[in-house]
Amino acid sequence: MITLHHCPQTRSMRTLWLLAELAVPFQLRSYPFDRTLRSPEFLTLSPAGRVPALEIDGERMFETGAITEYLCERFSPDALGRMPGTPERMSWLVWLHFAETLSQHVAALTQQHVALYEDHMRSPVVMKLEAARVAKCFDAIEARLQDPLGARDYLLSGGFSAADISVGQAVYMARHFVRTDAHPGLSAWYARITGRDGFQAALPAGDGIYSRDFYEPWPLE
């Protein structure tokens, strides 16, 4: 049995989307994004108090990249995964873990716009810097999809994979802070992958972290 421990609109959304695409049976335990994740009980699942945490066959896993690699190797090595020795293995790993590069900047923006409740705690400079870094990540995705040697529908030429899930979920979060209008290839790819049933199944059913669809940057003084 697989149990996913999840908070809506967090990195664990990647694992929820992946499990939906894999069509394997699992149980879902959802938590509010609060101090519940610091409880002694939850820390036995994820020692840093973060989601996702995954229970599978009596073992416990955390870290989205590790979870994604393991689930793909076990349940979808030739479709959502790309196994060692296959031509796209290197690119699959690069883009799978690129999602964390983007997510780190999104986490900083989420802290600035959402988690810090007092205006004096927030920094327009940090907001501007992190939004610029997100835009650079969008540039990298755009360049991958709009390769002069041949545009791609997905991050890998071989088709939709867990790399699209991981990066796509990070873009879903990032779009709360940086618009994708200047990236037509990314926008078309994002529309393509978020039209999938797996993505729809991973969307929050109720409240998540974000109360707005988009957070406008603060002006510098």
What tens digit of pLDDT does each residue of 107-143 get?
999 999 999 988 889 999 999 999 999 999 999 999 9
69 falls in which pLDDT band (50, 70, 90)? very high
Contact 105, 133 (CB under 8 A): yes
Average pLDDT over residues 144-172: 95
205 falls in which pLDDT band (50, 70, 90)? confident
What is the reported pLDDT for 220? 54
Question: Do the bridges between strand 59-62 and strand 2-6 make them parallel or antiparallel, or are there none, so unpaired?
Answer: unpaired
Q: Kindly state which CATH superfamily the domain 2-75 is placed in.
A: Glutaredoxin (3.40.30.10)
Question: Over the stretch 13-32, which tens digit does the pLDDT of each residue have?
Answer: 999 999 999 999 999 999 98
- Cα-only R_g, the chain: 18
What is the reported pLDDT for 149? 79
**pTM value?**
0.95
pLDDT of 221 > 60? The answer is no
Q: Minimum mean pLDDT among 4-18, 24-38, 55-69: which range?
A: 24-38
Report the distance separating Cα 91 and Cα 192, nearest Å. 20
What is the reported pLDDT for 209? 92
Average pLDDT over residues 148-176: 95
Average pLDDT over residues 204-209: 86
Indicate the fold that domain 89-202 takes in CATH.
Glutathione S-transferase Yfyf (Class Pi); Chain A, domain 2 (1.20.1050)
Write out the two tokens for 161: 């994979």
| C-alpha neighbours within 13 Å on the C-beta side of residue 59 | 5
Residue at 199: amino acid letter: F
pLDDT of 91 > 70? The answer is yes
Pinpoint the residues of the chain covered by CATH 1.20.1050.10.
Answer: 89-202
Round the average pLDDT of the chain to a whole number and report it. Answer: 95
Burial label for 64, CB within 10 Å (0-12, 13-18, 19+), is buried
Q: What are phi and psi of 24, to 5 degrees?
A: -105, 150
Report the distance separating Cα 22 and Cα 162, nearest Å. 10
Produce one character per residue of 124-145: b if its CB has 16 or more CB atoms within 10 Å, e if not.
eeebeebbebbbebbeebbebb
